[in-house]
Structure 1
């Protein structure tokens, strides 16, 4: 394992934006309609489709990623 100095680790975490991971939408989310399609009530439709036919899970989710 690479030896890391405490000062280097603290500086790494202190610089730039907080955190290390960023979540970026893969679909447009610029309006209330977009959010409604992505979340409630829109998310119910793919959930119901997957429930009726589990083979569609890769079509509607990131599971295949």
Structure 2
């Protein structure tokens, strides 16, 4: 499954919508995604499962690069 992670780069700053970034991670569960990213200094706002037409839409983006946990 592919998850889209919305995050702020610095865990200690107040979240600002304009500074929100996203990345894509291939994992079995949301818990695996959070475990994979825990060593980074990210303030994770939301982890969203992508599937169906939403996944197809995201894959069409030129910024679509997936990190694999394997």
Decide: shared fold, TM above 0.5. no
Higher helix residue share:
1
Q: Which has the larger radius of gyration?
A: 1
Report the TM-score when normalising by structure 2: 0.22
Report the TM-score when normalising by structure 1: 0.23
Higher strand residue share:
2
